Structures are given as structure tokens and as C-alpha cells.
Amino acid sequence: MRKKIVAKLDKIFSEFIRLRYADNNGNAECVTCGKVDNWKKLQCGHFQSRKHYSTRWHEDNCQVQCSGCNVFKYGEQYKFGLYLNAKYGEGYAEDLLILSKQILKISNTELVEMIENYENKVQKIRLKKKL
């Protein structure tokens, strides 16, 4: 049961991350190479691996990436870190690295609440951008 809840949260969270920076035409830009494509063709890239629950659904740890960068270039972590530092301030990438090492236990109830939260956020973005 937990696996299904986590998978559902991953799916809606990924949609949120990709829609968040999409323009009104549905296009977004890869943070590591600058490729522009429709949000549905892009991916939710993680600076720190998804295996770390403390940053798995952290909105700053996750950004839009093309499959080339996210999969074939293993997330382009160095470039990703430079992007994070430029956007959020010097040392931010290291802060996320430290946070990712902290153990975080999330109950199934909390995961379901997160799903509902991101479903609402996605719905608002879709209405606002007409996507």
C-alpha cells in the first residue's frame, strides 16, 4: 500500500514541478542545458537523489530537466548545483546536500496529505495557465 501512495505522490509532484515553470503555451526550460520543450516531454530532475526522503519532495531540490540531462547525463549534478546557487544564493546546493542526509520518516497519512496538496496546486496552475 505504501508503495502505491509514494508512486502517486511522485507522479503528482513531478507534474507540479514541470508545470510550475511552464509558460502559457505549456513550454518549460531544462535548468541544466536550457532545452525548451512541452512540460509533458520534460522530467522532474532531483539535485539530491530520490532515495533521500528529506529532499525527495523538496520543491527546490526538484527542477525541470530534459531526459538527456536527467537520465543520460545522470542529472548533471554539478550544473544543477550551480543553477541552485545562482537562483537561491551561494551555498544553497550544499545546504540541500546536508538536508538530504537527515533521516525523515513520513507517515502514510502525511503522504496522502501531500498528494492532496499537490493535486490542488496542479489544478490551480492548470486553470491559471489554461493547460
* Sequential DSSP letters for 52-112: -HHHHT-TTTEEEE-HIIIIITTT-HHHHHHHHHHHH-TTHHHHHHHHHTS-----HHHHH
Q: Are the CB atoms for 65 and 90 separated by under 8 Å?
A: no
Q: Are 86 and 60 in contact (CB under 8 A)?
A: no
Q: For position 64, what pLDDT does the model report?
A: 98
Q: Which residues of the chain have pLDDT under 50?
A: none
Residues 12-39: tens digit of each pLDDT: 999 999 999 999 999 999 999 999 999 9
The ranges assigned to domains in the chain are: 2-104
Q: For 80, what's the count of Cα atoms within 13 Å in the CB-facing half-sphere?
A: 24
For residues 129 and 65, what is the distance between their CA atoms, to the nearest angstrom?
20
Q: Quick one: cell of 15? A: 507534474
pLDDT of residue 27: 98
| b/e sequence 5-40, b meaning 16+ C-beta within 10 Å | bbebbeebbbbbbbbbebeeebebbbbbeebeeebe
